[in-house]
Amino acid sequence: MAYSQQTARGDYAVQRVAFGCIWVAAIVTIAVLVLIIGVILGRGLPSVSWEFLVGSPQDMGRAGGIFSTIVGTVVVGVLALLIAAPLGVGTAIYLTEYTVESRLTRAVRFGTESLAGVPSIIFGLFGFIFFVTYLGLGWSVLAGSLTLALMVLPTIIRVAEESIRTVPRGYRDVSYSLGATRWQMVTTAVLPSALPGIVTGIILAFGRAVSETAVVIFTAGTALNLPTSLLAPTRTMAVHFYILAVEGISLPNAYATGAVLILTILLINVGANALLHRLTRQRTRR
Amino acid sequence: MTNKIEFKNYSLFYSDAQVLDDVSLAVPANQVLVVFGPAGGGKSGLLRSINRMAELEPNERHTGDVCIDGRSVFDPQVDVAALRRRAPMVFTQPIPLPMSIYENVVYGLRLNGVRDRRVLDETVERALRDATLWDEVKDRLDSSALALSGGQQQRLGIARALALDPEVLLLDTPTAALDPITTARIEELVVTLRERYTIVVVPHSIQQAMRIADVAAFMLQGKLIEFGPSNQIFLSPRDDRTERYITGRFG
Amino acid sequence: MRERVIRWVLLLMALGVLVTLGLIAFFIFQSGAGLIVRVGLGDFLGGTVWAPTADPPQFGILPMIIGSIWLTAGALVIGVPLGIAVAVFQVELAPAWLSAILRPTIQLLAGIPSVIYGFIGLTLLAPLVRSTLGGPGLSILTGAIVLGVMILPSVIAVSEDALRAVPASIRDGAYALGATHWQMISGVLLPTARSGIVAGVILGMGRALGETMAVIMMVGNALTLPLSPLESATTLTSNIALELAYASGAHREALFATGVVLFCMIMLLNAVATMLVRQRAFSRRTTS
């Protein structure tokens, strides 16, 4: 009897305090993002001009633009994805369509999750030991791309597997019953439906590749010249930003480079989500 | 009358579960075989064994033999994909592929490498006409198949199968998801198609079975209880269990 | 025939992950284990002096281990409560419009390059810390705050999953006994989701431990044993990254050896986290 009288004001007071804190946490999270983007873009965008984007760095980055770093970023990133995407999607296809759950699939999944947890400095170290030194590639676009590819591989595998699993089971039955081989079934009935998710995942993986610094600095080097071949060293935007900031070369240019970097990430994120939205709508409505 | 399909002492296992137990029957050509019985009787398994879809299940094993036109479907020289094109299947749930109506119908042909636009066009018209869908969709062949009604999608599934110019049609409870009017249309369709194909159907109900069958097989827990011409099975069944199922005493 | 070739190709691709993992482990160990053996594991891990270019060189990484531990602990203190709070917010309290804003916000926070985080710490936070709390500014505290924000997305994601996995019946049970919303959350929801949340925490721990670039920019890189959060310090990761470019011979080996220690620590943490997550997911699938 006494219990039903409870729910004392005390309890509700505690709740108000607790919820207040939680609301603060949520606001703080949004505020932090706004702060970071606001500061970098605010202090950096004024220095970003067309000349900045297409001009080459001069005087170790004190003056001039960041063109060679943009090229370096794009080349290394695209190459990394060109290597990782087929490997990752192929692995996902194998795990979902070509085997049943077994010791092998569990081992591969374990490997994927472990690889996903390896910190970037270890990848950088490995890339340095294996690609740069052992295989003799030197500090090069190729070494950087290969190492980056290995780093984003788990992400692609995860995303591809998820996408493939969302394809309705019936599509496989229909495809087989009309005389498809397994590979035909995969390429004509499963992959087209899984494509939106896979493509989004690849674009987001590209975003990760663009942001990476520890890996690239020890595999692709820090040379400011335009990379002329796969074996030439190069500097990516993130690395350039790091060097400008840490070595105190030029604060305005650091901000400017940071602004371009953030804009790129924003573009990639927004673009990927918009693309996913559009592609899935196309598939289900039409 | 030659036997189109024959089961010889055929048993089917999915892992440790036995789906079919020593089934032997023969289906004459150009007849409709109806495989009926309570749930879990192995009816789908029987169908899927004809075009070797059963082996897509994990840990599938079988003993005995299944023959089409006297030749074992398990013969190592048999191309499984080609076999399935000879005996395509239509499923319970209409499953249009996420493409246009046109592409759905020619899907099987494209898998087989057919690219000639004229051949594809002709096939699409023939198959859709045979499935009694042509008049309804002939003006929007390029629109998405997902926009069709349930009944239309199921007839599309049949058209897909017919496009392959098969010899056998396997229909697994094709009208379970459809309304009575559409069901009647599809039953009519099945009966007319019999002239050109051998059809094996798992019916939705006993009444449907009686309406369309030429020969019938009663399956109970994986065993073939009784098999024979539809008149005999439905009007004067020999086995007690068959009689009780037909009269609705269990099911 | 063609089908068989395709199957083999795909199998080889799938094995690629294992091959990569094996190569990484092999080469890292091969490059660093030798020095650990020569110096002795105890002296390596427990030695307080890191002077690789001195004569004789000394390779003690205790300052770095302590630095890493301080920094990770600090990051957890900041990031875990914040992360769990946001996760609770998303699952229990957020109006739809705010939730829709928060989701891409968290995704973007995860996508911001670590060097940008480090830069913000360097230019904004460190001076603030120096002026209000004293010390050099570039300190463990600065690093912990920023690192705490960096691990937010991981903690939030896993915690959110864990909270959403709690069946409605359990929540209803609490309400039916007269619990307020908060009492349900604190007394029933959070405890039930505990193992999933712990997994998120461990994941965050691994991330904090492995972070390099941001740390270098914010933590001061002093080689002494840090005794307070206001001091500068070096972590295992920053030590490797700062010296690798110009190290040679035994010095370089010592950096690889540091990598070995780091690799082992993080792999262990990740294995624990993965096990917890998998346990959660498995039980969720069997109960729903």
pLDDT of A3: 56
Which parts of chain B have pLDDT scores under 50?
A: none
For residue C288, what pLDDT is reported? 41
Are the Cβ atoms of A153 and C16 closer than 8 angstroms? yes
A174/B95 touch (CB, cutoff 8 Å), yes or no: yes
Using DSSP's 3-state secondary structure scheme, residue A67 falls into helix
What's residue A280's pLDDT? 76
Report the alpha-carbon distance of residue A53 to residue A44 in Å, rounded.
13
What chain B residue is nearest to A100 in terms of C-alpha separation?
A: B58
pLDDT at A13 over 90: no
Mean pLDDT of all residues belonging to chain A: 88
Q: Say yes or no to pLDDT of A286 above 50.
A: no
Mean pLDDT to the nearest integer, A67-75: 90
Q: Which chains touch B (3 or more CB pairs under 8 A)?
A: A
Give ranges for CATH 3.40.50.300 in chain B. Answer: 1-88+169-251, 94-165
| Spatial CA neighbour of C65 closest among C45, C49, C42, C40 | C45
- Neighbour count for residue A186 (Cβ, 10 Å): 22
Q: Do C212 and A121 touch (CB under 8 A)?
A: yes
Nearest CA in chain C to A267: C108
pLDDT band at A185 (very low <50, low <70, confident <90, very high): very high
Nearest CB to B56: which of A170, A176, A193? A176
pLDDT band at A2 (very low <50, low <70, confident <90, very high): low
Q: Does C256 reach chain A within 8 Å, measured CB to CB?
A: yes
> How distant is the Cα of B97 from the closest Cα of chain A, in angstroms?
7
**CA-closest candidate to residue A175, choices B76, B141, B157:** B157
Alpha carbon distance A68, A55 (integer Å): 8
Helix (H) or strand (E) holding C108: helix C96-111
Instruction: Number of A to C CB contacts under 8 A, please give it.
Output: 238
> Looking at chain B from residue 143 to 162, which residues have their Cβ under 8 Å from any Cβ of chain A?
143-144, 146-147, 157, 160-161
CATH superfamily of B94-165: P-loop containing nucleotide triphosphate hydrolases (3.40.50.300)
Residue A75: left (phi > 0), alpha (psi -120 to 50), or beta? alpha
Contact check, Cβ <8 Å, C114/A213: yes
* Confidence check: pLDDT of A249 > 90: no
What is the DSSP secondary structure assignment for residue B76, as one 8-state letter?
A: T
Q: From edge to edge, which strands make up the β-sheet containing B17-28?
A: B17-28, B3-14, B60-68, B71-72
From chain B, pick out residues whose CB is under 8 angstroms from the CB of A176.
53, 56, 84
Q: What is the pLDDT of residues C4-36, one digit of tens each?
A: 899 999 999 999 999 999 999 999 999 988 888
- pLDDT value of position C287: 46
Q: How far is CA A45 from CA A65, B229, C40, C118, in A?
A: 13, 84, 52, 19
Give B-chain residues touching A191 at CB under 8 angstroms. none
Closest CA to C235 of A148, A214, A240, A174: A214
Distance CA C243, CA C250 (A): 12
Cross-chain residue pair C259–A238, CB shorter than 8 Å = no
- Residues from chain A that touch C93, judged by Cβ atoms under 8 A, are 19, 22-23
Q: What is the pLDDT along chain C (288 residues), one digit of tens a residue?
A: 788 899 999 999 999 999 999 999 999 999 988 888 888 888 888 888 888 888 888 888 899 999 999 999 999 999 999 999 999 999 988 899 999 899 999 999 999 999 999 999 999 998 898 888 888 888 899 999 999 999 999 999 989 998 998 888 888 888 888 888 888 888 888 988 888 899 889 988 988 999 999 999 999 888 888 888 888 889 999 999 998 888 888 888 899 999 999 999 988 888 888 787 777 655 555 544
Top-confidence residue, C15 or A284: C15
Of A26, A125, A242, the CB nearest to C94: A26
A124: contact with C, CB 8 A cutoff:
yes
Burial A143-177 (b: 16+ CB within 10 A, else e): bbbbbbbbbbbbbbbbbbbebbeebeebbbbbbbb
User: Which string of DSSP letters, residue by residue, matches C156-215?
Assistant: HHHHHHHHHTS-HHHHHHHHHTT--HHHHIIIIIHHHTHHHHHHHHHHHHHHHHH--HHH
Confidence of residue A261 (pLDDT cuts 50, 70, 90): very high
Class of domain B1-88+169-251: alpha beta
CB C89 within 8 A of CB C100: no
Cβ pair C113:A210 closer than 8 A: yes
Interface test with C, best of A129, A155, A215, A219 (most C CBs within 10 A): A129
Q: Does C121 touch chain A (CB under 8 A)?
A: no
Upper half-sphere CA count for residue C22 (Cβ side, 13 Å)? 7
Does A174 sit within 8 Å of B160, measured CB to CB?
Answer: yes
- How many Å is the Cα radius of gyration of chain A? 24
Q: Please check whether the domain covering C63-287 is classified as CATH 2.60.40.1170.
A: no
Query: Neighbours of A (≥3 Cβ pairs closer than 8 A)?
Result: B, C
> How far apart (Å, rounded) are the C-alpha atoms in residues C213 and C146?
12
Q: Burial code of B64-73, b = ≥16 C-beta within 10 A, e = fewer?
A: bebbbeeeeb
CA distance B183 to chain A (A): 21
Residue A216 pLDDT greater than 90, yes or no:
yes
Rounded to whole angstroms, how far apart are CA atoms A155 and A164? 14
Q: Which two tokens stand for residue A24?
A: 């603060």
Task: Quote the pLDDT of residue A101.
Answer: 82
The answer to whether B161 touches A178, Cβ cutoff 8 Å, is yes
Q: In whole angstroms, what separates CA C198 from the centre of its chain?
A: 13
Most A CBs within 10 Å, among B15, B51, B91, B111, to test the A interface: B111
How distant, in Å, are the alpha carbons of B93, B196, B211, B212, C238 from that of B191? Answer: 21, 10, 9, 6, 78
CA nearest B160 in A: which residue?
A: A178
The torsion angles phi and psi of B68, rounded to 5 degrees, stand at -120, 130
Mean pLDDT across A79-89 = 95
Contact flag B146-A176 (C-beta cutoff 8 Å) = no
